Amino acid sequence: MNSEHWAAWDNCLRIIRDNVPAGSFKTWFEPIVPVRLEQKILTIQVPSAFFYEYLEEQFIDILRKTLRMVLGAGAKLEYNVVMGNNQAETPYTVKYPTNNNNRIQNKPLTLPISNEDKAAIKNPFVIPGIQKLQIDPQLKPENTFENFVEGECNRLARSAGYAVAQNPGGTAFNPLMIFGASGLGKTHLAQAIGIEAKERYPDKVVLYVNANKFQTQFTESTRNNNRNDFLNFYQMIDILILDDVHEFAGKEKTQETFFHIFNHLHQTGRQLILTSDKPPIELKGMEQRLLSRFKWGLTADLTVPDFETRMEILRKKAYKDGIVLSDDVMEYIASHITNNIRELEGALVSLLAQSMLNKKEITLELASKLVNKLVKNSRRELSIEYISKVVCDYFNIPVDSLQAKTRKREIVQARQITMYFSKNMTKYSLASIGAQIGNKDHATVLHACKTVTNLKETDKNFRVYVDEIEKKLKM
């Protein structure tokens, strides 16, 4: 048997091991299997498309440099992605640069739970084998209803959430979907429901999980061939709180898995609480059957708090932290930090720190200097929609053209630049970015970002375009 590819990959691993954290090496490099080496093209086998995407996004530089060191100039990498639990698996190959037409066809999911199986179900949050009632709900104790300030901006969502906490699974608000921009209190309110419900019904199993963590757990379960354990664990939850569900955009297998979990929980009278940055009708890259289920219950939004609500937030935060503030100081902060509760509370913490470190009284002058500095230096919370508009305005083309299936050079270039800035200036995943810009896959986004980076280095006029757009985005 030709072991040349094994020897080459072993040499790569020796270099990589010295350049990445031990945990990352164990998770992302030990599962890789070298397949073949032909004419400086090393083919490696990875267990999922998400695994491939993560390697390309986080470790592409170290992989590229290592390959060149081991195999010499012109070395290339190909991915052989194998998914599924059975022996007869059909791999597909992703070449580097990636081929955007690849798609994964996976096996159907099986979902039954029997009483005999429950004792053996693995809990992805704690030590395997721990009993159901000992599951940590993953809730922060400070995120209670008592600490959540009610105002016109959140009254419907808070009232619905409190009703759900009193009678989980027994109201018309199932699922309860809370949506709004970052920093407006979605996570706080969702966890407050879980905390209140757990206090009223101690025997119910409550679990909070972020969509990214759910995705990682699903990937791990697929890689370790225990996906049914993963599914069965989530089927046992009485109140499931899934944060940032918009992160599922473009992730077909994760959506399929959650679809089955959603159906089981809803049909058995369990409560689902979801948060998102947009209402269901505006979510892109999501299966229609899943979006239709999101609309079954109540969708409630959180908007920017008005001045009175911001003042009340500051009063409650100051009282909790033992800070004495004059009304003038609080009014100044509430008047100048208007869009984000997180920034509002952060300003108060910074003000206290400045006062303690410099041993100065918290005066209006001190608050003015700090707040003006925070507002000046704070980076705008960019959205993909805003980036799309800025890019299209710059090139004088309609925003809708980014969604069109066309190969016109100016449209393709604008789309690639939009993807590039969306990756660098937002927290969205590659799959989510692609889903919102032309319904493309993550590989297309990766290719777009690399294309823009390369053109910036080789095309002077193109670099001017990108630099000018970046200035507009940072204004």
**CB–CB of 243/275 below 8 Å?**
yes
Amino acid identity, position 216:
T
Q: Are residues 141 and 283 in the same domain?
A: yes
For position 127, what pLDDT does the model report? 34
Determine contact, residues 442/431, Cβ cutoff 8 Å: yes
Q: How many CB atoms lie within 10 A of CB 31?
A: 15
Do 198 and 236 belong to one domain? yes
Q: Is residue 126 a part of any domain in this protein?
A: no
Let me know whether 138 and 287 are in one domain. yes
Based on the domain organization, do 176 and 262 belong to the same domain?
A: yes
pLDDT value, residue 122: 52
CA distance 4 to 11: 11
On whether both 341 and 287 belong to a single domain, the answer is: no
- Which DSSP symbol is given to 280? G
Confidence at residue 102, expressed as pLDDT on a 0 to 100 scale: 34
Q: Are residues 79 and 199 in the same domain?
A: no
Please check whether residue 113 lies inside any domain of the structure: no
CA proximity to 144, closest of 209, 188, 204: 188
Q: Strand 176-179 vs strand 298-301: parallel, antiparallel, or unpaired? A: parallel
Q: In this predicted structure, what is the pLDDT of residue 85?
A: 39
The CATH number given to whatever domain includes residue 434 is 1.10.1750.10
282 with 164, same domain: the answer is yes
pLDDT of residue 114: 37
**Same domain? 284 vs 391:** no
The SS3 assignment for 33 reads strand
CATH number at residue 8: 3.30.300.180
The low-confidence residues of the chain, meaning pLDDT below 70, are 1-2, 48-50, 53, 81-134, 321, 355-356, 358-360, 372-382, 475
Residue 94 is inside which H or E element, if any? strand 92-95
Alpha-carbon Rg of the chain, whole angstroms? Answer: 25
Residue 416 identity (one-letter amino acid): Q
Tell me, yes or no, whether 144 and 10 share the same domain: no
Task: Say whether both 311 and 455 belong to one domain.
Answer: no
Domain boundary among 326, 351, 377: 377
Q: Which domain holds residue 257?
A: 132-301
> Residue 249: inside a domain, yes or no?
yes
**Residue 116, domain member (yes or no):** no
Is residue 103 in some structural domain?
Answer: no
Contacts with 347 (C-beta within 8 Å, 6 or more apart), sequence order: 333, 337, 370, 371, 374
Answer yes or no: is 227 within a domain.
yes
Domain boundary among 318, 342, 377: 377
- How far is 299 from 273, CA to CA, in rounded Å? 10
Which pLDDT value is given to residue 161? 92
Give alpha helix (H) positions in 204-326.
211-223, 227-235, 252-267, 288-294, 307-321
